[in-house]
Structure 1
Amino acid sequence: MSVATTAEFKVEHVKPKIGSRILNSKQELLSGEFAARIREELEARGVLVFPQINFSDEEQIAFTKTLGEYASENADGSPSKITLDVKENPSSAEYLKGSLYWHIDGTRNEVPILASLLSCKVPIPKGTGNTGFSNTYAAYDDLSDEDKARYENMRVLHAPWASLFYYEAEPSLAKLKIMQSIGEKVLPLVWKHASGRKSLVLGCTCHHVIDVDYSESAQIIHGLREWATSPDFTYSHEWSVGDLVIWDNTGTMHRAEAYDPDCGRMMHRTKLEGEEAWAE
């Protein structure tokens, strides 16, 4: 008589309020057997690390597809190269400068992507070029009841052009117009998800809180970012070759921590299509 065996889902928490490491084998992950568990862990923990899993591009795409609908960024379906090196990434290296500051992807879109998966192909010396993550579900949950009531119905103008001033204090008018052409969108400061959970919608695309004095607006936006990026809610991943990290874009901010654009750092990214529109 044959006996069927079920593999164990191997997970360990990185910090109390953010981050888990998934320790299953490449074969187990590619089988899709743990896809539902991975999705649950991702929403609960914000960011998942698969240490030195060493996916090829084809395997990374296949793994992404086990978790949801693959959001291809390139015509040939290949992962995107993520680097500030203009020789390797001439079309978007300039735009990626905004990735050095806390943000959520897709704030100008009707439906933001569900998640991004980033794999390390070429790291740089340890302690540099990390990627930081902030769990904005947990940051909201730990607000006082008074603050939750204060922010509950606030709305914020998100504009990619606002991020330009984080890395270039005096941009040319031409550059500003190019960034403004990308678009902008008014979003809730507190996203009431279909699941019933709530998260903060923050980051360097925040321009101002609607119908609030600009001085007070700045204090709200920057004060909440400071809160959400405090040690309790953040994790900084130090990359090794072959690491894969996935983060929940609907409840997590992220940023690349500063590094020399000419150092050769190279990541390959895949994405999952969004499944939930911004709450109105």
Structure 2
Amino acid sequence: MATAISTTDAPLVSEDIKPTIGTRILNTKEELLSGHLGPELRELLEKRGVLVFKEINFTDDEQIAFTKTMGTFAPEMRDGRDEKVHKITLDVKENPQSAEYLKGSLYWHIDGTMNDTPILASLLSCKVTASWGGNTGFCNTYAAYEALSDEEKAEYETMRVIHSVWASLLYYEPEPPLAKLKGFQSIGENELPLVWNHKSGRKSLVLGCTAHRVLNVEAMKSAQVLIGLREWCTRDEFSYSHEWSVGDLVIWDNTGTMHRAEAYDPACNRMMHRTKLEGEEPFE
């Protein structure tokens, strides 16, 4: 059943996709672009992790305008200039700088683990679907944390984890040339909490393919913790896989979910357009 939340104008109309993750928004493009639904959508995003707008068919300018209704717009820096809409594709003609880096997006991750304050959310719209595969998977790391036992929460609460881009390289290229490894390692490492204590009072898990090792924990135990929690977070009850149609828009809360692109033909020219909301809360 669709539910309506009262507003001073057209109400926000939505239906949950799964009990712990994902809500489908049923409002019209005009209602969404008016801006009055932005605060409610923002609140719903934190609760549900992922919002889906089926075949809303935003233009790039409309996507930018809609993004701004939910928070501070965050452009990407490319060649010393602001890029408002970033093309997500493995096509090197369209994305020569990031196609290699995007190979890591096929594995569970949180954007911005190399930063002290990650982006709040990403908005992704589909322009060209994959010839096969190409879903985007999401999992709710708030819900996954909340479902842990009290003993597990106490064990993980004080753990700190080293994150690095070079750790993600080894997922898709386990035997890289030394020069390439050094290039990725030059980006550096970042120490983050395993459990993120949010200003809202809720807690989520900080994991993904950039998570390299748990500090002050023996190597075998460290691997068991990181892999075990990834397996836990991506269980069916905490996860949702979105099958794209052209014109779909999906927003996810980058502070309380992990995501990944699911396998697809790298030569198919799958194309997504991304905008972002600026981060507001450091990892703590």
Structure 1-normalised TM-score?
A: 0.96
Relative distance call for 1:167 and 1:10 in structure 2 (3 A) is same
Where has structure 1 moved over 3 Å in runs of 4 or more?
none
Distance in 1 (alpha carbons) for counterparts of 2:203 and 2:127: 34
Could you tell me which residue of structure 2 aligns to residue 142 of structure 1? 147
* Secondary structure in 2 matching 1:241: coil
SS of corresponding position for 1:204: coil
- Where 1:18 maps in the other structure, the secondary structure is coil
1:254 is aligned to: 259
Q: Name the structure 2 match of 1:157.
A: 162
Alignment of 1:223 onto 2:210 = no
1:112 alignment counterpart:
118
Write out aligned runs for 1:166-245 (5 A). Answer: 166-245=171-250
Percent identity, aligned pairs only? 70
SS in 1 for 2:31: helix
Which of residues 3, 15, 31 is equivalent to 1:12? Answer: 15
Secondary structure at 2:69 match in 1: helix
Instruction: Verify: 1:128 aligned to 2:119, yes or no.
Output: no
Match of 1:78?
A: 84
CA distance in 2, matches of 1:200, 1:124: 30
1:270 positional shift = 0.3
**CA distance in 1: counterparts of 2:188 and 2:120, whole angstroms:** 20
Other-structure match for 2:34: 31
Deviation at residue 5 of structure 1 after TM alignment: 7.0
User: Match of 1:191, SS?
Assistant: strand
Paired position in structure 2 for 1:270: 275
Q: Displacement of 1:77 after TM fit? A: 3.7
Tell me which residue corresponds to 2:47.
44
Which SS does the other structure have where 1:108 is aligned? Answer: coil
Unaligned runs of 5+ in 1: none
TM-score, normalisation: structure 2: 0.95
Distance 1:66 1:106 in 2: 22
Please identify, of 128-137 and 179-188, the stretch whose mean Cα deviation from structure 2 is larger: 179-188
Amino acid at match of 1:143: L
Higher mean C-alpha deviation, range 76-85 or range 104-113: 76-85
Partners of 2:186 and 2:49 lie apart in 1 by 31
Measure how far apart 1:76 and its partner are: 4.9
Matched, 1:98 2:104: yes
Which residue number in structure 1 is paired with residue 4 of structure 2?
Answer: none
Structure 2 counterpart of 1:113, which letter? I
Aligned length: 275
SS at structure 2 position matched to 1:156: strand
- Please list every run of 5 or more consecutive structure 2 residues that lacks an aligned counterpart in the other structure: 1-6
- CA-atom RMSD in angstroms: 1.2
Cα distance in 2 for residues equivalent to 1:254 and 1:247: 9
Once residues 129 and 233 of structure 2 are traced to their aligned partners in structure 1, the CA distance between those partners, rounded to angstroms, is 27
